[in-house]
Amino acid sequence: MSNETDRAERPSVLLISVDALKPEFVFKQEERGVNLPNISHYFLENGMASEEGMVSVFPTFTYPCHQSMITGANPAVHGTVNNGIFDPAGEHLGAWHWFANKKVKTLWEAAKEAGYWSASVAFPTSVGAKGDFIAPEYWWDGSEIDSLFIDAVARPQGLITEMEQEIGGYAGGLDLTDHGDEQRGKAALWMLEKKLAPLAGEKPFFMSAYFASFDESAHQYGVYSKEAAASLEKIDRMLGEIIGKAGEITDGHLVVCVVSDHGSLDNTHNIAPNVLLKEAGLIEADEAGKVISWKAFSQRAGGTAEVRLADPDDKESAEKLAEVMKCLEEDPESGILEVLTGEEALARGGFPQAAYVLVSEKGYEIRDDVTGDYLRTTLTQKAQHGYSEKFPEMRASFMITGEGIGKGRITDVHLIDVAPTLAAVMGAGLPDAQGRNLLK
């Protein structure tokens, strides 16, 4: 079979990430008070889905997870180890790891190399992705300035301006509301109709898309709140529209994979390890709690925190830090489940630059505050993730349907399997992927 024939026979592929969607919402809809007719139709009745859920990566935090989803590699390998850049003193002005990694190949690049049109809408960690049509997730201040910046970093440049003339404002990464997702849904439909449909005769497409509002409603109101349920039902309606449109364009020559990045659980406490590091003389802060200088600092990733030494060769600070870590580990009231050394964290796939990694008990969200009490019952967010990837509550969703995909349940699924599975469907190569092809 020639490459040309082979290519023409391969299906288009849609990968849609629904942030924090837990398998129980898919499989126990009535019990969880949601009605998801499109997920039921496409995946439970006519596709494959994992009921026990998919094991996420370490940490179970949105940006590391999404880069793992699109590369098949663990965070320590692709280098997107947290949402925010490690930045104790705020020198990077709150910057996140918005960028597609440059160490290992992404599915966007692999798909393009395999002869696909490669597209993305609002997918986290997609700035600079090597695809054909990339509308990335990025923000500056949540104002209309965001559109200008996103347009400047989109591929091709000018894509967002063109899109916004038809759908209104493209949702920057700060708008995580139902309305923001409505715009993400419109943007995905626009991409399909205006960019991919006219080219569908030439070659198949790979498109990734993303919805944020279920996760955000859970953060604000709780995992099992009516608000989170309502956000999810709206997402299900948009999934129906997007899958329907993609099916129409490809004449059913299509594979659709709907996944999430991690699960979530309700918080009970906030804990702030930096308060203890400050007491130990490892952090200096002003009265407002702003860090002036630091020798060791703990940066949050939800239910996990990365602790770094400013200078790994600073023995005195390393000893003081070891003392604080020992106290947290030994104190049954600390809310800390595990204190990992850097090597132990690396062996779990995360934080290659850490001196230690703190993994908290269920419900104890780790915060970055350097002042106030270490342990608080006042919560910043009602629900959180970033907790141990070993907790069943952190399991993510995996569902796949379409041409050549069977029906039934699938087990033993890991987040790093998503990219190798879709790469296999497309005949694309992901040399650094650590996961496996689930369809083999």
Q: Are 261 and 65 in contact (CB under 8 A)?
A: yes
**Closer to Zn ion by Cβ: residue 164 or 261:** 261
What whole-number distance in Å separates Cα of residue 187 and Cα of residue 135? 9
State the nearest-atom distance from the C-beta of 211 to Zn ion, in Å: 10
**Closer to Zn ion by Cβ: residue 274 or 360:** 360
Angle at alpha carbon of residue 19, lines to 17 and 25, rounded to 5°: 100
* 19 interacts with Zn ion by CB under 5 A: yes
Count interface residues toward Zn ion (CB under 5 A).
3
CB neighbourhood size of 102 (10 A): 10
How far CA 337 is from CA of 340, 380, 391, 394, in Å, comes to: 10, 20, 12, 15
State the nearest-atom distance from the C-beta of 372 to Zn ion, in Å: 27
Q: For residue 376, what are its two tokens?
A: 């608080």
**Closer to Zn ion by Cβ: residue 50 or 397:** 397
State the nearest-atom distance from the C-beta of 215 to Zn ion, in Å: 5
* 62 interacts with Zn ion by CB under 5 A: yes
**Closer to Zn ion by Cβ: residue 132 or 261:** 261
Residues 6+ apart with CB under 8 A from 96: 63, 83, 84, 85, 173
**Closer to Zn ion by Cβ: residue 267 or 274:** 267
**Closer to Zn ion by Cβ: residue 212 or 355:** 212
**Closer to Zn ion by Cβ: residue 68 or 434:** 68
**Residue 94, class by beta-carbon neighbours within 10 Å (0-12 exposed, 13-18 middle, 19+ buried)?**
exposed
* 221 closest CA partner among 259, 180, 177, 258: 177
State the nearest-atom distance from the C-beta of 196 to Zn ion, in Å: 26
Which x/- pattern, by CB under 5 A, does the window 248-267 give for Zn ion? -------------x------
State the nearest-atom distance from the C-beta of 394 to Zn ion, in Å: 11
CB neighbourhood size of 142 (10 A): 11
Q: Which stretch binds Zn ion (CB under 5 A): 59-67, 188-196, 275-283, 413-421?
A: 59-67
State the nearest-atom distance from the C-beta of 400 to Zn ion, in Å: 20
State the nearest-atom distance from the C-beta of 63 to Zn ion, in Å: 8
**Closer to Zn ion by Cβ: residue 62 or 401:** 62
What whole-number distance in Å separates Cα of residue 21 and Cα of residue 25? 7
* 58 closest CA partner among 359, 398, 382, 435: 359
Residue nearest to Zn ion (CB): 62
State the nearest-atom distance from the C-beta of 57 to Zn ion, in Å: 11
State the nearest-atom distance from the C-beta of 261 to Zn ion, in Å: 4
Q: Which stretch binds Zn ion (CB under 5 A): 13-21, 78-86, 113-121, 396-404?
A: 13-21
Q: Which stretch binds Zn ion (CB under 5 A): 55-63, 86-94, 340-348, 359-367?
A: 55-63
What whole-number distance in Å separates Cα of residue 388 and Cα of residue 366? 12
Radius of gyration for the alpha carbons in the chain, expressed in angstroms and rounded: 22
Q: Which stretch binds Zn ion (CB under 5 A): 19-27, 145-153, 239-247, 398-406?
A: 19-27
- Strand 269-271 to strand 375-376: parallel, antiparallel, or no bridges (unpaired)? antiparallel
**Closer to Zn ion by Cβ: residue 106 or 250:** 106
State the nearest-atom distance from the C-beta of 381 to Zn ion, in Å: 12
Backbone torsions φ then ψ of 390, nearest 5 degrees: -85, -15
Q: Which stretch binds Zn ion (CB under 5 A): 11-19, 228-236, 296-304, 413-421?
A: 11-19
* 137 interacts with Zn ion by CB under 5 A: no
**Closer to Zn ion by Cβ: residue 62 or 126:** 62
* 414 closest CA partner among 259, 302, 215: 259
Q: For residue 256, what are its two tokens?
A: 């659709």
How far CA 22 is from CA of 48, 199, 393, in Å, comes to: 16, 35, 8
Question: Residues in the site for Zn ion, rule: CB under 5 A?
Answer: 19, 62, 261
